[in-house]
């Protein structure tokens, strides 16, 4: 299947380039003086966070279009984006505390971004669980779309709550983990990493989409075979 092949090639390329990001970030990017080496986690954490959130937006949009057009391709894409979004959210939720511990002194501090990502992660998990719990493909697609749209509409409210919560509970830190302005070399590393994460998103979603399609083909074939014996 061509989409699968394309997806695999893109993913392979992205992983190779990721190794390049690692080398560049670890060995060829200057160390940030105030935070030390731990600051370099930023080059993985922030691109992952951007894609974890963007994936949710794509799930929401695909869900809206699906309910109008009922095109199964949109449903396949939504499901793929949700699964990949979960993976990226997991990266944010693991690298975040690892970065937080040396900088803030605690593993978890209800920082606005991490809390927001936790919400996102739980929305993704709910979405995937709902999909897993409904057997009929058409019903599954509709229900998932309903949840996807609700999730997308919840996001602005969560943003507000999380940032409101933060102003009520000041963070026990003085340093902020995101540099306000990046000197050239650091910016280049960040952009390189962001490009690679974008490629990873595309490669993963393409493969996951292909997997959905292949599974549907398999179920359809099994259905036909069953009918033949009826």
Residues that bind another protein (CB under 8 A): 4, 8, 11, 15, 18, 22, 25-26, 31, 33, 35-38, 40-41, 44-45, 48, 67, 87, 90-91, 94-95, 98-99, 101-102, 119, 122-123, 125-126, 129-130, 133-134, 142-143, 145-147, 149-151, 153-154, 157-158, 160-161, 164-165, 200, 204, 207-208, 210-211, 214-215, 218
The answer to whether 98 and 215 have CB atoms below 8 angstroms apart is no
What are the tokens at 211? 């997997």
CA distance 120 to 212: 23
With residue 160 as reference, give the H or E element that holds it: helix 137-168
Q: How far is the CB of 11 from another protein (least distance, A)?
A: 6
Q: Which is closer to another protein, CB of 150 or CB of 191?
A: 150
* Secondary structure of residue 32 in the 3-state scheme: strand
Q: How far is the CB of 82 from another protein (least distance, A)?
A: 13
Q: Which positions ≥6 away from 129 have C-beta within 8 Å?
A: none
CA distance 5 to 10: 9
CA distance 179 to 114: 17
* Secondary structure of residue 123 in the 3-state scheme: helix
Q: How far is the CB of 10 from another protein (least distance, A)?
A: 11
Q: Which is closer to another protein, CB of 190 or CB of 204?
A: 204
Q: Which is closer to another protein, CB of 69 or CB of 150?
A: 150
Q: Which is closer to another protein, CB of 126 or CB of 183?
A: 126
Work out the number of other CB atoms within 10 angstroms of the CB of residue 194: 17
Q: How far is the CB of 146 from another protein (least distance, A)?
A: 5
Q: How far is the CB of 187 from another protein (least distance, A)?
A: 19
């Amino acid at each position: 299947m061509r989409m699968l092949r394309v997806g695999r090639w893109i993913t392979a390329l992205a992983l190779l380039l990721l190794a390049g990001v690692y080398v560049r970030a670890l060995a060829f990017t200057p160390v940030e003086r105030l935070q030390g080496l731990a600051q370099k986690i930023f080059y993985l954490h922030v691109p992952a966070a951007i894609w974890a959130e963007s994936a949710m937006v794509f799930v929401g949009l695909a869900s809206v279009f699906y309910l109008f057009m009922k095109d199964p391709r949109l449903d396949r894409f939504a499901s793929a984006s949700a699964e990949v979004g979960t993976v990226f959210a997991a990266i944010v939720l693991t690298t975040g505390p690892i970065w937080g511990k040396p900088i803030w002194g605690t593993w978890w501090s209800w920082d606005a971004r991490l809390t927001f990502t936790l919400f996102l992660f739980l929305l993704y998990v709910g979405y995937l669980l709902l999909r897993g719990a409904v057997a009929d493909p058409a019903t599954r697609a509709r229900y998932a779309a309903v949840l996807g749209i609700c999730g997308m509409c919840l996001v602005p409210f969560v943003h507000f709550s999380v940032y409101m919560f933060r102003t009520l509970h000041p963070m026990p830190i003085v340093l902020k983990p995101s540099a306000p302005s990046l000197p050239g070399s650091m910016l280049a590393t960040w952009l390189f990493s962001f490009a690679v994460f974008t490629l990873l998103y595309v490669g993963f979603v393409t493969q996951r989409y292909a997997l959905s399609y292949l599974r549907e083909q398999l179920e359809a074939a099994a259905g036909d075979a069953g009918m033949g014996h009826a």
